[in-house]
Amino acid sequence: MDSNPDPTLEMLKSLSSHLAAGVNSAELEAKRSKEQLDALLYSKGLVDESLKIFGYSSGSLYRSAAQSTIFPTGSMAIPMCEQFRVSPPGSGRSFYSDQIQSTIQSGVSALIAASAPETQAGLDSLKQMLSTHNEELQSLEERLCSRLGPYSEHLETILRGALASYRDAGNSLRFVNAGTALRELLREFLGEVAPDTEVKKAPWFVPAKDASGGVTRRHRIDYAIFKNLTQEKFPKTFSEQADEIASALLKDIGKLSALTHVTEDVLEKSYTEAAPLFAAVMQRFILLVSAIETAKLLIEQDIAVDIQSHLDDIFTGDFFDELDCLSSHTRPQGASDVEVGELTFDEEWIEFSGTGSVDCDLQWGSDGDVSRGDGAESSASFPFKFSGRAPIGDPSKIEIDRESISVDTSSFYEGDDEEERS
């Protein structure tokens, strides 16, 4: 077979098509990178302006407001920033940069709303950054929609409808309708992430005597964030911040409930009176979603360390036919690039699955053959999948079923296939 065939029209067409696909891919990645950069620069700007404010001698004036707003924002956003840095280029990075931006934006907005009126002038720089980025409620609406989208499409429909009612100046019941819809939005969201049947199975659950079925909103929020794990399984700072977010959201929902009663006072409320409450509810909602997703990241990061160690022991201590047949002496050195996939919880176990690579030293011939130059040595990595579980009571006690590990060594034979085809 001629190893240097003349280019044909078909081959050139195929090459052009491949190049076009490459251009499209590069353009998409460039667009993503620009959006990520904009989001991170905006987020850093908000944080840096906040640092300036807290650096002034008057910083203590904002301490109480910051305790339930900007401080939880930092607690939620730091794990997201770490995840952004280790994520490969692509839509995954865009997801985290958007999470970071919406979380910090919501925290800063909430800080402004929660600060005392006499200190508001000192927050003008933050107000300016928020207003130039977008009108606050509109921006919060878009950010919250993007965060709710992965959970269920109908949640976005409820939110859009609530704010459409809020903006309908010709409807005297606009605040009643918007308040009811936002309260229902939280109920539907918690029903999605914390069904009562699952909440009741949590080891920490204690029925509330004054709640229907014994399950309260606070139970559901705690389950949405911490699942079946107790708060002691998480960093103390995170648990405290998540606690404050939950308490603040429930307080805002209580205020929102007052708007659902068709009283003369409610009907006469103005936009300037209602807007801060609606903004506060949405800010807290975003922070709740951030707390849920941050808790998931913390669990994954924590459990991944133990999984890595467990996989190392399995690969160096057990026998794998698919690896052993690659050379006279195949010596697995352990696992690398371990990524934990979706975690699921029940009352006793955390179930998990994931992927990784097993690093191997390959040797053909004996040690003596190698030293004489009659043998050969090499190294290679092969992808694998795995699944396992860990007890709720002690997530560090990893259990991975040896039979669940499947190693893909097809890359080792690709060279042979190429030679056969030529």
* pLDDT tops 90 at residue 349: no
CA 209 to chain centre: 34
Comparison of pLDDT for 87 and 182, the residue scoring more: 182
For residue 169, what pLDDT band results from cuts at 50, 70 and 90?
confident
Q: What pLDDT, on a 0 to 100 scale, did the predictor assign at position 116? A: 81
408 C-beta neighbours (distance < 10 Å), count: 14
Measured in degrees and rounded to the nearest 5, phi and psi for residue 260 equal -80, -5
> Lowest mean pLDDT: which of 105-119, 193-207, 261-275, 353-367?
261-275
User: Tens digits of per-residue pLDDT, 125-154?
Assistant: 888 887 765 455 667 788 888 888 888 889
CA 335 to chain centre: 24
For residue 416, what pLDDT band results from cuts at 50, 70 and 90?
low
For residue 7, what pLDDT band results from cuts at 50, 70 and 90?
low
Which residues, listed in sequence order, are joined to residue 384 by a DSSP beta bridge? 356, 407
Q: What pLDDT, on a 0 to 100 scale, did the predictor assign at position 218? A: 94
Torsion angle of C-alpha atoms 237, 241, 242, 246, degrees rounded to 10: 160
Q: What pLDDT, on a 0 to 100 scale, did the predictor assign at position 167? A: 79
In degrees, rounded to 5, the angle at the alpha carbon of residue 283 between the alpha carbons of residues 279 and 285 is 115
Q: Which of 179, 298, 174 is nearest to 227 (CA)?
A: 298
For residue 184, what pLDDT band results from cuts at 50, 70 and 90?
very high
* pLDDT tops 70 at residue 272: no
Token readout for 90 is 């692509």
The 3-class secondary structure across 151-169, one letter per residue, is CCHHHHHHHHHHHHHHHCC
Q: How large a percentage of the chain has pLDDT more than 70?
A: 92
With tokens 């929102």, the residue in question is: 256
Q: What is the mean pLDDT of residues 165-193?
A: 87
Q: CB neighbours of 402 closer than 8 A, spacing ≥ 6?
A: 314, 318
With tokens 């009283």, the residue in question is: 263
Alpha carbon distance 290, 78 (integer Å):
11
**Distance set, CA 6 to CA 15, 18, 149, 402 (Å):** 14, 19, 52, 51
With tokens 């920033």, the residue in question is: 81
Q: What pLDDT, on a 0 to 100 scale, did the predictor assign at position 408? A: 92
Q: What is the mean pLDDT of residues 412-418?
A: 63
Token readout for 9 is 């029209």
Q: Which of 380, 382, 381, 378 is nearest to 406 (CA)?
A: 382
For residue 418, what pLDDT band results from cuts at 50, 70 and 90?
very low
**Distance set, CA 418 to CA 18, 376, 398 (Å):** 21, 22, 41
Q: What is the mean pLDDT of residues 394-413?
A: 88
* CB 280, CB 61: distance < 8 Å: no
In degrees, rounded to 5, the angle at the alpha carbon of residue 270 between the alpha carbons of residues 266 and 276 is 95
Measured in degrees and rounded to the nearest 5, phi and psi for residue 310 equal -65, -40
Q: How far apart are the first and last CA of the chain?
A: 7
The percent helix, strand, coil of the chain (3-state, each to 5) is 65, 10, 20
User: Tens digits of per-residue pLDDT, 278-328?
Assistant: 888 888 898 899 899 888 888 888 888 889 889 999 998 888 888 999 988
Residue 387: enclosing H or E segment and its boundaries? strand 376-391
Q: What is the mean pLDDT of residues 58-79?
A: 82
* pLDDT tops 80 at residue 77: yes
* CB 288, CB 249: distance < 8 Å: yes
* pLDDT tops 50 at residue 93: yes
* Gyration radius from the chain CA atoms: 28
Using DSSP's 3-state secondary structure scheme, residue 252 falls into helix
User: Tens digits of per-residue pLDDT, 213-238?
Assistant: 899 999 999 999 999 888 888 888 88
In degrees, rounded to 5, the angle at the alpha carbon of residue 205 between the alpha carbons of residues 199 and 211 is 80
DSSP string of 98-135, one letter each residue? HHHHHHHHHHHHHHHHHS-GGGGGGGHHHHHHHHHH--
* CB 284, CB 249: distance < 8 Å: yes
Q: CB neighbours of 239 closer than 8 A, spacing ≥ 6?
A: 226, 231, 232
**DSSP state, 69?**
T
Using DSSP's 3-state secondary structure scheme, residue 150 falls into coil
Q: How large a percentage of the chain has pLDDT more than 90?
A: 18
